[in-house]
Structure formats: structure tokens, C-alpha cells
């Protein structure tokens, strides 16, 4: 008997817990939406949030509940994901809007200079907060690479003091655009290849003194553009990408050469 009671008690407690748990699991089962799980499996799972939802799982849930939502809102997934989603959900696919980041500063070390020998915390945001930037131009790329640190795709790097985007790797998620304290990075449609590499808000004469490539707001590009798509706003040229046709006439007339034309993207 002295062995039966202890063993019996432990077995009894175990059995009882087992039964309670089984019943609880049965009664409080959470139905998992199979559709949402399937959609989440297709999405890249980077949780970058560029679709406008909190993460891939949230987007999948929203899609499963309301199939009329756009299926091409995932820039990192691009065409492949949108195609797979259209197949799964039986929705007509309109073609994903591929996007890419552009950097609106060209002030490399040869073109402009630092106004200080900054020794503090090597971080764009910190430098901007304390000293409004280390360059002579207030809107210059700070070059500490906050954007590089947040990029999940290795698509942006610092070269010669400024951020450069590798267009073949960039998926247009916009993580870099969010962290840049100077707001130099913009997300534009992938097919747009003409980029104004300057955001200077100084007057043309000042810009000319501190940066040999900066936009001097001469408005030659405005006159050259046949599509009314480039305008000088706040002392630098800004392209309206809804009108731009990649003709690159503006780049040809630009006296400082601050308007760049990127080569066509290689097919993936």
C-alpha cells in the first residue's frame, strides 16, 4: 500500500490536469483563418510596413477579410508576390507598382566640405540634433549611414560621404526615407530614372560657395522641360514624378550637373 497511494496521487493529478486541459483546449479553440495563413505564407515576411499595415500578418488578415483591397501594396514582394496573391484569391492582377529610393544629395567629399571635425556619436540623427549637420550645407547628406543600418536588403551604402542606392537591390520599402533626419530620401516609381541630387534651401549664390554641384535654382531645367514636370521650389529643382517622362532634357541643360539620369534597371 505504501507505494500505491503516492503513485496513485501523482497519476491522479496528472490525469485530472490532462482532462481539464483537453476540455479547455476544445472549448476555447481559436479558429485560425486558413486564408490569412496562406496569404501570410506568400508575403515576404519582412514586416517593413510599407503596405500601410503593422506587418505582414496584419496585411494578410486585412486581405483575407476584405478581398477588394489592393493585392499589389507590397513593394518588397513586387510582381512575384502580387501574382501569387492574385492566383490564390482569384483577383485580377493589375501589375505591381515597383518602387525605388532616390537620394537627393550629391555633395560628395570633393564637391562640398565639412564645417566641423565631429567626434561625437557616429549617427546622423544625433549629429543633426546637436549641430544641425556636420556639412557646410545644412541639407547635405550626413553620411553616418542611419539609412544603411535600417536597410534589410543591403541596397543602400555610403560612398564618399553620401548615401547611394543600389537600384538592383532596392525594393522601395521606404525604411531609409523614414530615418533620414534631412529627409533626403524619397520613394519614387521604379521606372523614374531622372533624379535631382540636391535639396539645398540656400540661395543660389550661397549654394555655389559651399557645394560645387548643388542646385543654384537657375530655372534652366524648368524652361527646358516640355511636360511641366520640374519646378524650382525652395531654391532647388523638384521633379513631379506623376508628369516626368524620363526624357532627361533637364539633365542636359543643368549647368552644375546635379540632375542625374540613372541607367535602365536590369530585368530581374
Partner 1 sequence: MTELAIIMMGAVLTNNFVLVKFLGICPFLGVSKKLDSAMGMSLAVIFVMVLATAVTYPIYMGLLVGYGIEYLQTIVFILVIAALVQLVEIAMKKHLPALHKGLGVYLPLITTNCAVLGVCILNIDESYTYIQSLINSFGAGVGFMLAMVMFAGVRQRIENNDFPIAFKGVPSILIAAAIVSLSFMGFAGVIDGIFGL
- Which residues of this protein are in contact with partner 1, per CB under 8 A? 5-6, 9-10, 13-14, 17-18, 20-21, 24-25, 28-30, 121
Q: Which is nearer to partner 1, 6 or 95 (CB)?
A: 6
Q: 56-65 and 34-42 helices cross at what angle (nearest 10)? A: 130
Q: Which is nearer to partner 1, 36 or 105 (CB)?
A: 36
Min dist. Cβ of residue 117 to partner 1 (A):
18
Min dist. Cβ of residue 22 to partner 1 (A):
10
Q: How many CB atoms within 10 Å of residue 161?
A: 21
Q: How far apart are CA 15 and CA 142, in angstroms?
A: 65
Q: How far apart are CA 146 and CA 123, in angstroms?
A: 6
Min dist. Cβ of residue 90 to partner 1 (A):
29
Min dist. Cβ of residue 123 to partner 1 (A):
8
H-only helix segments in 103-168: 124-131, 146-150
Q: Which is nearer to partner 1, 30 or 267 (CB)?
A: 30
Q: Which is nearer to partner 1, 121 or 130 (CB)?
A: 121
Please list the residues that pair with 158 across neighbouring strands. Answer: 163
221 is written with which cell numbers?
Answer: 531645367
Q: How far apart are CA 229 and CA 250, in angstroms?
A: 10
Q: Which is nearer to partner 1, 2 or 205 (CB)?
A: 2
Q: Is 233 strand, coil or helix?
A: strand
Min dist. Cβ of residue 4 to partner 1 (A):
11
Amino acid at each position: 500500500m505504501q507505494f500505491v497511494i503516492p503513485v496513485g496521487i501523482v497519476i491522479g493529478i496528472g490525469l485530472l490536469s490532462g482532462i481539464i486541459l483537453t476540455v479547455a483546449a476544445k472549448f476555447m479553440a481559436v479558429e485560425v483563418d486558413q486564408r490569412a495563413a496562406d496569404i501570410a505564407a506568400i508575403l515576404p515576411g519582412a514586416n517593413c510596413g510599407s503596405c500601410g499595415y503593422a506587418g505582414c500578418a496584419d496585411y494578410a488578415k486585412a486581405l483575407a477579410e476584405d478581398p477588394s483591397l489592393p493585392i499589389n501594396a507590397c513593394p518588397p514582394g513586387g510582381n512575384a508576390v502580387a501574382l501569387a496573391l492574385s492566383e490564390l484569391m482569384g483577383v485580377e492582377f493589375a501589375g505591381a507598382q515597383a518602387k525605388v529610393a532616390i537620394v537627393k544629395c550629391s555633395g560628395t567629399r570633393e564637391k562640398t566640405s565639412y564645417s566641423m571635425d565631429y567626434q561625437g556619436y557616429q549617427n546622423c540623427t544625433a549629429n543633426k540634433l546637436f549641430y544641425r549637420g556636420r556639412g557646410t550645407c545644412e541639407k547635405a547628406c550626413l553620411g553616418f549611414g542611419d539609412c544603411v543600418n535600417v536597410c534589410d536588403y543591403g541596397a543602400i551604402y555610403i560612398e564618399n560621404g553620401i548615401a547611394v542606392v543600389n537600384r538592383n537591390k532596392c525594393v522601395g520599402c521606404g525604411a531609409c526615407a523614414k530615418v533620414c533626419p534631412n529627409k533626403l530620401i524619397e520613394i519614387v516609381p521604379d521606372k523614374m530614372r531622372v533624379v535631382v541630387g540636391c535639396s539645398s534651401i540656400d540661395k543660389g549664390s550661397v549654394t555655389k560657395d559651399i557645394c560645387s554641384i548643388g542646385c543654384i535654382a537657375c530655372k534652366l531645367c524648368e524652361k527646358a522641360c516640355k511636360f511641366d514636370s520640374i519646378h524650382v521650389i525652395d531654391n532647388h529643382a523638384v521633379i513631379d514624378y506623376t508628369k516626368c517622362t524620363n526624357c532627361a532634357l533637364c539633365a542636359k541643360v543643368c549647368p552644375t550637373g546635379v540632375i542625374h539620369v540613372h541607367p535602365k534597371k536590369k530585368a530581374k
